[in-house]
């Protein structure tokens, strides 16, 4: 054993990826509805991104952030224009982006509000990363086992509960951090009224509304950012996953008036904003903004959800289908891991989001025919699980 066994591997050794498919070392082809955990939004080996990265590799691989990096500035300009926010800090991952947001919120509290012990409110079932701060912010105890002691300054509240937010808010509260669709927490969308009330409340109380779009951002839900479907503009937005389409990149976006709270020397990342990563980000943003892909995601997401409802109607193992765009979850009465295994046997790769929720994160370039194939496989897998569970009940196993 040469690796720490921190991941539960699924037995596949991928060696090639193209579009919505990957191939293992034996040459078997799989339809990939995981997108590398929501990373390869534009599919594997997208030509525009590949060309941009290859061009940058011939120019400059790395230079520190002590120098101006033109493609970093171009990437930041495209993100601020698209989001309505004013400035960007680049990191390498979603956890790092959320760390930057946490630090910004605390500095905002200390320097603007004169708060002595800044507190950030988060929500049950949320997931914000694996660093100690983002782990503490995460509202799931199962990922925190044996990692304490945890840093102070976080409190987790019931999701979609405005009363709980108001009751928990005090003089030390500097920010509220939430996902608009909880990914690891079971594909649970935030209620639109709750989000609008939260935006109004944060403005009135001079609290930062920080939205974690690490999984929902970059077209995943049918708009470039999920917050655009809620009719709000957050004070801070964090991104990663699809931002570089497989090239590691994360970003924290913030309002222009928050810029003074992260001045020179206040925060840094050696590899954040690396030229190669930024070339991928620029290419991703151009593909998102110069093509009709976002409209396609909306249409294909609706088609996928409609097909799931049609084909799985009456299936006793499916309790609910939820989510938006290309981020959907099947809440089941049986183990989601069992359905993942059934799907894998039939050439489809899917994910779990909790013990009884199947997560679907197909690449945004998926075709209707590939959607039909995935739904067919899931339908067959659920039918087999239903037969097996009936057999177990009858036989008393």
Answer for the pair 271, 64: CB distance below 8 angstroms, yes or no.
Answer: no
Binding-site residues for pyridoxal 5'-phosphate, please? 94-95, 127, 212-215, 270
Answer for the pair 68, 291: CB distance below 8 angstroms, yes or no.
Answer: no
Global model pTM greater than 0.75: yes
Answer for the pair 241, 216: CB distance below 8 angstroms, yes or no.
Answer: no
**Range 47-290: architecture per CATH:** 3-Layer(aba) Sandwich (3.40)
Q: Domain ranges in the chain?
A: 14-32+293-395, 47-290
Binding-site residues for N(2)-acetyl-L-ornithine, please? 130, 269
Tell me the pLDDT of the chain (397 aa) as tens digits.
Answer: 699 999 989 999 999 999 999 999 999 999 999 999 999 999 999 999 999 999 999 999 999 999 999 999 999 999 999 999 999 999 999 999 999 999 999 999 999 999 999 999 999 999 999 999 999 999 999 999 999 999 999 999 999 999 999 999 999 999 999 999 999 999 999 999 999 999 999 999 999 999 999 999 999 999 999 999 999 999 999 999 999 999 999 999 999 999 999 999 999 999 999 999 999 999 999 999 999 999 999 999 999 999 999 999 999 999 999 999 999 999 999 999 999 999 999 999 999 999 999 999 999 999 999 999 999 999 999 999 999 976 455 555 5
Binding-site residues, please? 94-95, 127, 130, 212-215, 269-270
In sequence order, the 6+-apart residues with CB closer than 8 A to the CB of 22 are: 14, 16, 29, 30, 32, 44, 349
- The top-level CATH class assigned to 14-32+293-395 is alpha beta
Helix 336-345 crosses helix 368-395 at what angle (to 10 degrees)? 120
């Amino acid at each position: 054993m040469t690796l720490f066994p921190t991941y539960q591997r699924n037995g596949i050794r991928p060696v090639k990826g193209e579009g919505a498919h990957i191939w293992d070392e034996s040459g078997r082809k799989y339809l990939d509805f995981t997108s590398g955990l929501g990373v390869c939004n534009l599919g594997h080996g997208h030509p525009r991104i590949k060309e941009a990265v290859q061009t940058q590799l011939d120019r400059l691989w790395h230079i520190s952030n002590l120098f101006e990096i033109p493609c970093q500035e171009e990437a930041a300009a495209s993100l601020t224009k698209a989001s309505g926010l004013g400035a960007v800090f680049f990191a390498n991952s979603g956890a790092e982006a959320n760390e930057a947001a946490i630090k910004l919120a605390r500095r905002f509290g200390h320097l603007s509000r004169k708060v002595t012990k800044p507190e950030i409110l988060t929500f049950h079932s949320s997931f914000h990363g694996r660093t100690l701060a983002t782990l503490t912010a995460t509202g799931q105890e199962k990922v925190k086992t044996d990692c304490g002691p945890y840093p102070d300054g976080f409190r987790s509240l019931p999701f979609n509960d405005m009363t709980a937010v108001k009751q928990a808010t005090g003089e030390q509260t500097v920010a509220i951090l939430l996902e608009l669709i909880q990914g690891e927490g079971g594909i649970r969308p935030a209620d639109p009224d709750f989000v609008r009330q939260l935006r109004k409340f944060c403005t009135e109380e001079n609290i930062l509304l920080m939205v974690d779009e690490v999984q929902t951002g970059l077209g995943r839900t049918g708009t470039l950012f999920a917050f655009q479907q809620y009719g709000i503009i957050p004070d801070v937005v964090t991104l990663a996953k699809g931002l570089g389409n497989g090239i590691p990149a994360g970003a924290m976006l913030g309002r222009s008036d928050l810029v003074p709270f992260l001045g020179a020397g206040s925060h840094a990342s050696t590899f954040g904003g690396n030229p190669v990563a930024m070339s991928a980000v620029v290419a991703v943003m151009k593909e998102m903004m110069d093509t009709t892909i976002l409209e396609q995601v909306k249409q294909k997401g609706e088609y996928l959800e409609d097909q799931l409802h049609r084909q799985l109607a009456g299936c006793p193992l499916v309790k609910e289908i939820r989510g938006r765009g290309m981020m959907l979850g099947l809440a089941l009465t049986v183990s989601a891991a069992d359905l993942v295994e059934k799907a894998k046997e039939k050439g489809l790769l899917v994910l779990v989001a909790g013990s009884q929720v199947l997560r679907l994160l197909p690449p945004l370039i998926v075709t209707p025919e590939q959607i039909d194939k995935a739904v067919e496989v899931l339908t067959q897998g659920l039918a087999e699980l239903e037969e097996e569970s009936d057999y177990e009940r009858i036989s008393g196993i």
